[in-house]
Structure 1
Amino acid sequence: MLLSRYERMIARRYLLPGRSEAFIAVVAGFSLVAVMLGVAALIVVMSVMNGFRAELFDKISGLNGHAVINGYGGQVRDWRNVLDEVKKTPGVTSATPLIEQPLFASFNGRVEFALVRGMRVEDIRDNPTLKGKEVVGSFKRLTPGSEQIAIGSRLAESLGATIGSEIAIINPQGVATPFGTNMRIVKYRIAAIFEVGVYDYDKAFIIMPMEDAQTLLLLGDAVGMIRIDTVNPDKVGEILAPLEDKVNDKGQITDWRQMNRELFEALSVDRIVSFTILSIILLVASFNIVSSLIMLVRAKTRDIAVLRTMGATRGGLMRIFVTVGTTIGALGVGAGGILAFFFITFRMQVVWFIGAVTGQKVWDPEMRFLTELPAKTDPFQTFAICAMALLFAFLATLYPAWKAASTDPVQVLRYE
């Protein structure tokens, strides 16, 4: 929208009203603030929702893979041949054998639920989710037969154990005797304490070499499942479809969507609901722009009539008021983007500050799965939010601009 020189001058003058129009300036300021808050809230909330989904998916898939082959009866006996078959499948990037069993861990009289996972030593050290996540100790100390394990930081805290502590792992399915089944209790020394950032994992996971897990669970040479990673997690079903017939007699394929369907569907619904509700703020801001422009038109009725008598066109007047309203919206969008950047960058400090002021635990890992508030800003999504805010601001200017352009100079100046 191109403006002539006088149109730009008048639009600039109306953006900075005089003392007699201070109330109009206050209303316009509220409109700008409303747009700023709406844009900032949308960008921050959508970034947090995107970050929550991405972080959760990375952590879950990092430990559980994009899919797993669960053996019938909890065991895959011919796992080496199955592993070779999986690796030959186009689109599969890696496949690793796993043993996973819910058991109990005990230390100094305390007993906690634990999820024992057995992995090959090289898989433990190369796993991207575990790599570098040691709080104390090192995964390098885990070797077959060493009777050393790594446990999650929250589990260590619950047990009161630390590096070097000797904890007992209790397997209720022990050895059968004439007097019943004796629970199998084996003691291991903690070689590493890790924190992956997912509360449920840090609260329960115990990682040990696969050979030690086989001995603990009396599995012989069998494993419990085979973890699979693919080139595209969104197409994991298509990639693994040819594999189903080949491993159907060995186990069942379950992908990440089936394992975490409820969680990710809830996140998707939450994103849509949050976006819809927060968009109402932008609508309210648009109504504020309408109100401030209508007040400005009423205050400038005589000026508009004079401009019309001097040759100003209806289109020119519309352009002036559209420019005024759109500029307020654009300034609000810019300020909202800066505010959103501030909140996203210092999000944890903001959470701690709110918690200190209210005395409440704002971010509880037990409820939120992740130990820290994540954020991942999508540039396209941010652009769409800003464009939507500008569109609302533009539409809000049309009616006041039309009213200004419809002013009849004869009626206004009749008694002047």
Structure 2
Amino acid sequence: MFKPLILYIGLRYTRAKKRTQFISFITLTSVLGIALGVTALITVLSVMNGFEAELRERILGMTAHSTITGRFGQLDDWQALEQRTHSMQHVEAAAPFIHGQVMVNADRQVSGTLLQGVLPEYEAKVSEVANKMMFGSLNDLVPGEFGIVLGAELASYLGVMMGDKVTVITPQINSTPAGILPRMKRFTVVGVFKVGMYEYDRNMALMHLDDAGKLFRLEQAVSGLRLKLDDLFNAPRITQGLADTLGDEFRVSDWTKAHSNFFRAVQTEKRAMFIILLLIVAVAAFNIVSTLVMVVTDKRGDIAILKTQGLSNGSVMGIFIVLGCIIGSIGTLLGTVGGVLLALNVETIVPAIEKAFGVQFMAADVYYISEVPSKLIWTDVYWIACVAFLLSLLATLYPAWQAARINPAEVLRYE
């Protein structure tokens, strides 16, 4: 069976003899180092991809793709503007809203909260909150009955359940014979929602648009319109087109402006983690240098004999490049398989570890998401494997060059 000489000799050098057991141990550590580095890199990037996807989905499930407000922070005739949006390209739905900061009191518990007035029949078209109800329904918000829907964490903190009463206190004031007092109103809890993000579950409450208008004394005005677009990733361009269409009378913004710093930070962290973990792969790859240097030292006599028989310097380099590439390929392959398997099962493995050791890696009151998500992107796997193999290849060049420089006369002088 035909085998190229360079490949044949390179493969022979991968099999250890008794006197080269230490070299084989170093080779094994190099393979395992590359494998562990690649596994860690694939797994961590998959988890970060999962976090980014989960955060984007949950944030955009509660945040409008685009928002239209008046020049002075409110819209006086939102019905007419809502009708105009029906003819606008890329706009699938629109919903009015009123928002403001309030304090919610129940017995001795008080919490600052973002209060949002909505129309249930409209809100279901632009957000996912109607599908995230744990108790009650968004349609239970009836004008004039002063019902309120709380986030799950907020309801838990206040210690209230369905049917309980809470007091909503606004920053606005009333002048009474007893003095100046803040405006306050009693509401009945008619629903509890859970989005899965602490920011919303702990700090948001919903009520009917008419009740919010009375509470904030807006009469028929609203804070603005929330829009749902057909392409949320193209929101900046679409929003700019809407702004040009509506003119200076209105202000139009999109979700990328409201959360741009957050998602930019996630991308920056992802790049930083890639570089940090790539250094692990690089250290393991350059262990190949020490392995091959020892192999070259051990095989000096063999190399000298091969060169006297006519083997060129380039062929000698090729032998050790083949040897290094085999080590790098095995490590990269093992790491890729391990990383893919781990990334695909992170959401099962992490809860099992938490249950077995009684720990919680991500506390809900600290992190946006309390579970560890994972999203495997095959292009990331491809590039990680390519970079790991390339680093392994680069690590072979110096030892191979040293082998090619061996002078047969000097080596065989005393043989």
Shared fold (TM-score greater than 0.5)? yes
Secondary structure at the aligned position of 2:414 is classed as coil
Quote the residue 2:155 is aligned against. 156
Residue by residue, what CA displacement relative to the aligned partner does 1:151-208 show, whole Å, maximum 9, x if unpaired? 2111112111233333222234255556655444333333332221221111111123
Distance in 2 of aligned mates of 1:20 and 1:123: 79
Distance in 1 of aligned mates of 2:289 and 2:49: 33
1:336 shift after superposition = 2.0
Distance in 1 of aligned mates of 2:344 and 2:49: 15
Quote the residue 1:371 is aligned against. 370
Quote the residue 2:88 is aligned against. 89
Residue by residue, what CA displacement relative to the aligned partner does 1:354-399 show, whole Å, maximum 9, x if unpaired? 7789997542344432232333332222211211111111111122
1:254 shift after superposition = 2.2
1:57 partnered with 2:56: yes
Change (3 A) 1:292 1:371: same
Quote the residue 2:267 is aligned against. 268
Kept after mapping to 2: 8 A contact 1:76/1:250:
no
Quote the residue 2:131 is aligned against. 132
Quote the residue 2:26 is aligned against. 27
Q: Which amino acid aligns with 1:390?
A: F
Deviates more, 1:111-120 or 1:348-357: 348-357
Change (3 A) 1:18 1:156: farther
Change (3 A) 1:275 1:166: same
When the two structures are superposed, what TM-score results if normalisation uses the length of structure 2? 0.87
In the alignment, structure 2 segments of 5+ residues that lack a partner are none
1:103 shift after superposition = 0.9
Distance in 2 of aligned mates of 1:153 and 1:9: 67
Kept after mapping to 2: 8 A contact 1:174/1:181:
yes
Change (3 A) 1:109 1:241: same
Q: Which amino acid aligns with 2:290?
A: S
Secondary structure at the aligned position of 1:228 is classed as strand
Quote the residue 2:251 is aligned against. 252
Secondary structure at the aligned position of 2:155 is classed as helix
Distance in 1 of aligned mates of 2:28 and 2:210: 68
Kept after mapping to 2: 8 A contact 1:354/1:362:
no
Kept after mapping to 1: 8 A contact 2:300/2:406:
yes
Kept after mapping to 2: 8 A contact 1:114/1:206:
yes
Distance in 2 of aligned mates of 1:20 and 1:146: 88
Distance in 2 of aligned mates of 1:182 and 1:332: 71
Kept after mapping to 2: 8 A contact 1:197/1:372:
no
Change (3 A) 1:66 1:127: closer
Change (3 A) 1:353 1:299: farther
1:73 shift after superposition = 4.3
Deviates more, 1:314-323 or 1:393-402: 314-323
Change (3 A) 1:206 1:25: same
1:238 shift after superposition = 2.6
Secondary structure at the aligned position of 1:89 is classed as coil
Residue by residue, what CA displacement relative to the aligned partner does 1:309-351 show, whole Å, maximum 9, x if unpaired? 4554444333332122112212222222233234434435665
Quote the residue 1:393 is aligned against. 392
Change (3 A) 1:128 1:228: closer
Quote the residue 2:36 is aligned against. 37
Mapping 1:1-400, distance limit 5 Å: 4-127=3-126, 129-173=128-172, 175-177=174-176, 182-245=181-244, 247-248=246-247, 250-347=249-346, 362-400=361-399
Change (3 A) 1:62 1:315: same
In the alignment, structure 1 segments of 5+ residues that lack a partner are none
Residue by residue, what CA displacement relative to the aligned partner does 1:57-81 show, whole Å, maximum 9, x if unpaired? 2222222222212334442111122
Kept after mapping to 2: 8 A contact 1:172/1:182:
no
Distance in 2 of aligned mates of 1:378 and 1:87: 37
Q: Which amino acid aligns with 1:129?
A: E
Distance in 2 of aligned mates of 1:393 and 1:277: 17
Distance in 1 of aligned mates of 2:195 and 2:152: 9
Change (3 A) 1:86 1:212: same
Distance in 2 of aligned mates of 1:151 and 1:243: 33
Q: Which amino acid aligns with 1:264?
A: F
Distance in 1 of aligned mates of 2:344 and 2:134: 25
Q: Percent identity?
A: 33
Q: Which amino acid aligns with 1:113?
A: G
Kept after mapping to 1: 8 A contact 2:76/2:220:
yes
Kept after mapping to 2: 8 A contact 1:351/1:363:
no
| RMSD over equivalenced CA pairs, Å | 3.0
Kept after mapping to 2: 8 A contact 1:148/1:208:
yes
Residue by residue, what CA displacement relative to the aligned partner does 1:80-117 show, whole Å, maximum 9, x if unpaired? 22223334332333322122111111222211111111
Change (3 A) 1:243 1:176: farther
Kept after mapping to 2: 8 A contact 1:102/1:113:
yes
Kept after mapping to 2: 8 A contact 1:286/1:392:
yes
Secondary structure at the aligned position of 1:260 is classed as helix
Change (3 A) 1:225 1:285: same
Kept after mapping to 1: 8 A contact 2:313/2:405:
yes
Q: Matched residue pairs, number? A: 414
Distance in 2 of aligned mates of 1:357 and 1:24: 39
Secondary structure at the aligned position of 1:132 is classed as helix
Secondary structure at the aligned position of 2:68 is classed as strand
